[in-house]
Amino acid sequence: DAIRFDQAFVNSSWTRPSFASILSGRLASSHGVMSKSDALPDAVTTMPEALKAAGYTTGGYATNFNVAPYFNFHQGFDEYVYLEPEFVLGADDASAKLLLMQFIRQRVEKMRAMQGEVLPGTAYQDAETVNAALVSWVDRQAATPWFLFVGYMDPHDPYFAHPYDGSGYARAAHQHPDPSEAPALSALYDGEISYWDRELGKLIDALQARGLYDELTIIVTSDHGEEFNEHGGFWHGTTLYDEQVRVPLLVKLPQARRGGTVVRHWVQSIDLMPTVLKLVDAPVPEGVQGGDLFTGTDVVYAEESHEGNVLESVRELDGTDEYKLITANRDNPRGLAPVELYRVDLDPNERENLAKSSPDRVRMATKALLEQRALAHEDAVAADSVELDEDVAAHLEAIGYIER
């Protein structure tokens, strides 16, 4: 029923800046959310704010603490719920927030994870739990138009088998896996994708049973990819190679218009907000930098600036040839080369660095990168900074975003 976009890219390779770009239509330097302490600034107009102004009821559900209300991602929603993970050792929510209980819980969960025991629900709520909340929200809506945003965590570490067999793998306990573990981790990840796919099917069944599905626009995408040693590392948020920035994108229109179509032009996360607003005839706010998913773009830009990484990439066309330039600060923690150039239409796995052999092409791509950087800084706003106290740090550590 959906249109499939085969060349979709995020503008950052970890959750918080990527979600901010999806919800604002702005590049990371424009919305300002780039570091672990950054919160979405009020000065940025979000997709739910624009839809609310157009008469829509807006709801949101999140399972990743990076986009919890603590970081202001509830901005513009009539109702926005962060679904807390379960607490262990018999503690309820209130008592678990006591420092001693938090300390014990963190240590027990980390010890279990180091032994390969990852308990479902202790880091995030799974898709089945999320779907129950979504269906309940939908059932409470009146006849007015509505917009529902959901951030599933599956597939995401901690990984565990479906059905659960007592085993799993958590980044919090294994920040630097052995390369030999890549096939097993990739298989766990694939299993989580299959599980989520089945749960999405159940959600669609529920929408069809309520007579809603045919009239809905449904967009499915991701905020980042995942690395399994393709370039010598794991996880995400540390490079701008395609395994971390190329993502799925499916758009199901009302009455499944154009369903089954495969689109091969380039699109990026910042295109989602203006496309959604255009589909419902709502005005696009000032400051939005994205375009239309259905026309695509000739240039894709991504950036990171956190935890010692200062990375940029630009993908551009030279006729029908496709090039990608990646730059990195010289003291970056992954030891990435300062300049990398790939002919990605011929080398999609980004193996042959052409930077030294093609200096003219590097200069041309650098010009495009600088133009995109300038665009990213147009009308830029500063992110709000929040405190990463013990409770916040514990949430982020559980899903692999802080190493302590």
CATH of the domain at 302: 3.40.720.10
Q: Which domain holds residue 266?
A: 3-398
Whether 55 is covered by a domain: the verdict is yes
Residue 144: what pLDDT? 85
User: What letter does residue 283 receive in the DSSP assignment?
Assistant: P
Kindly tell me the burial class for residue 255, based on how many C-beta atoms sit within 10 Å of its own C-beta (0-12, 13-18, 19 or more): exposed
Q: Which residue ranges in the chain fall short of pLDDT 70?
A: 87-122, 166, 172-173, 399-404
pLDDT digits (tens, 9 = 90+) for 303-327: 999 888 999 999 999 999 999 999 9
337 CB contacts (<8 Å, ≥6 apart)?
328, 353, 355
CA 362 to chain centre: 29
Residue 137 within any structural domain of the chain: yes
Residue 404 belongs to some domain of the structure: no
C-alpha separations of 256 from 144, 275, 278 in Å: 22, 17, 18
Tell me, yes or no, whether 35 lies in a domain: yes
Predicted TM-score (pTM) of the model is: 0.89
Alpha carbons 28 and 156: distance in angstroms, whole number: 22
Q: Work out the percent of the chain whose per-residue pLDDT is above 90.
A: 70
Residue found under tokens 């405190």: 387
Q: What is the CA radius of gyration of the chain?
A: 21
**Residue 155's pLDDT is what?**
83
Tokens of 403: 């190493």
* Total number of domains constituting the chain: 1
3-state secondary structure of 309: strand
Rounded to whole angstroms, the Cα distance separating 106 from 398 reads 8
Residue 124 DSSP code: S
In a domain, 56, yes or no: yes
CB 118 within 8 A of CB 188: no
CA distance 234 to 169: 13
Q: Does the bond joining 348 to the residue before it have cis omega, within 30 degrees of 0?
A: no
In a domain, 403, yes or no: no
Q: Could you write out the DSSP letters of every residue in 22-54?
A: HHHS--HHHH---STTEE--TTSPPHHHHHHHT
3-state secondary structure of 342: strand
**Contact between residue 268 and residue 297 where contact means Cβ atoms under 8 Å apart:** yes
With CA atoms as reference, report the closest residue to 123 among 112, 134, 136, 135.
112
The confidence score (pLDDT) of residue 361 equals: 97
Structural domain includes residue 320: yes
Question: Per residue in 166-177, pLDDT tens?
Answer: 677 777 667 778
Does 273 fall in a domain? yes
**Could you give the angle at which helices 127-139 and 182-209 cross, rounded to 10 degrees?**
20
Count helices and strands (H / E) in the chain.
11, 20
Q: Which residue has the tokens 């059905």?
A: 163
